[in-house]
Structure 1
Amino acid sequence: MAQVLSRVARIPTISRFGWLMGLYAENFTLLTRLFEPADLAAGSYLSSIGDGLDLRLELVAQHAYTTELRMTYALRDPVTGEADPSAFLRLYRDARQVEATHCYLGRRWQDVIGMYPPPAAVLDHRMRMNTFLGKWLHYLGERGHGVATLQRIGTLSAA
């Protein structure tokens, strides 16, 4: 008796880790297009477009293949005094990726996922942070922030 083989169309899938790497690559493109951080010297920069919501970009360090920076508004959380929202970013020029390593959106990561989270919780948290970063970068571009609005306001202190 002949076997009947059915054709099953397989839709390619992507793992959560693969999705995260895709977010990193997309964020690299967005951040590079907006501010060209590889061309900036370490220090503080302000992007003002006249809407009263100035963006602060702090370039912490330039290394051979990476750039470390912090992006925030000139707003403070009334409870903690921290800049809110803010994102600490690491740009990998050789891999063409930007990773949001820490975000502060009213709560610290320890309050969100605990001190010793399981690996799946860490991956989920990284996906949320980097999705937020991508949306924020899109928003900044739509509002008109970019290299043309960026002005250096000083060097970072050694603190």
Structure 2
Amino acid sequence: MSQALARTARIPRLSRFGWLMALYAENHARLTRLFAPEGLVAGSYLSSVGDGLDVRLDVIETHRYTVELRLTYDLCDPLTGEPDPSAFVRLYRDARQAEATHCYVGRRWQDVIGLYPPPAEVVSHRMRMNTFLGKWLEYLAEQGHGVATLRMVETSRLDVA
């Protein structure tokens, strides 16, 4: 029994915050492999694979260490007129992490979990958003989206900011 306890004591445990940081790193790797947004200039891009669901990547702003972007399908929700699903992503170039800051245009984290949530609730909310982003990026890659299918578009049907 003591050997089993000693063996499990050597296995490092990852905190929820550590898990979230690892999720950010995975999302950075997926996003970089898929669309290479670090090399894109600000503007709107479409990726079309012929399935009728074009993916829109809006590079909102590029900074020295970050890239702000929005990932969505090129269609609007008939009720709100906003793109849905939609994920706003902050890509950290130096840390090699990509964080989904919010996943629906009309709802920020304050609208979802309140103004003064406990820290555990904030981490849980961020984990859900970034798990969604990771699964979505994986799905887009399986559908054939990527750098080869990405093209810049002149006019944007959707407002970026």
TM-score above 0.5: yes
Aligned partners of 1:63 and 1:106: how far apart in 2?
25
Q: Does the 8 Å CA contact 1:57/1:69 hold for their aligned counterparts?
A: yes
2:18 equivalent in structure 1: 18
2:40 counterpart of 1:40: yes
* Unpaired stretches in structure 1, ≥5 consecutive residues: none
Following superposition, the deviation at residue 131 of structure 1 comes to 0.4
Aligned partners of 2:30 and 2:121: how far apart in 1?
26
2:127 counterpart of 1:132: no
1:113 equivalent in structure 2: 113
Following superposition, the deviation at residue 81 of structure 1 comes to 1.4
2:81 equivalent in structure 1: 81
> How many corresponding residue pairs?
155
Aligned partners of 1:33 and 1:149: how far apart in 2?
13
Aligned partners of 1:65 and 1:57: how far apart in 2?
19
Q: Does the 8 Å CA contact 1:71/1:88 hold for their aligned counterparts?
A: yes
Q: Does the 8 Å CA contact 2:58/2:160 hold for their aligned counterparts?
A: no
Aligned partners of 2:26 and 2:140: how far apart in 1?
15
Measured on the aligned residues, the alpha-carbon RMSD in Å equals 2.2
Following superposition, the deviation at residue 155 of structure 1 comes to 6.5
2:53 equivalent in structure 1: 53
2:150 equivalent in structure 1: 150
Worse-matched range after superposition: 97-106 or 116-125: 97-106
What code does the residue aligned with 1:117 have? P
* Unpaired stretches in structure 2, ≥5 consecutive residues: none
Following superposition, the deviation at residue 109 of structure 1 comes to 3.6
Following superposition, the deviation at residue 80 of structure 1 comes to 1.5
State the Cα deviation string for residues 9-54 of structure 1 (Å, max 9, x = none).
Answer: 2232100000000000000000000111111110000001000000
| Higher CA-based Rg | 1
Aligned partners of 1:42 and 1:106: how far apart in 2?
23
CA spacing shift, 1:158–1:132, aligned 2, 3 Å: closer
TM-score (ref. length: structure 2): 0.88
State the secondary structure of the residue aligned to 2:60: strand
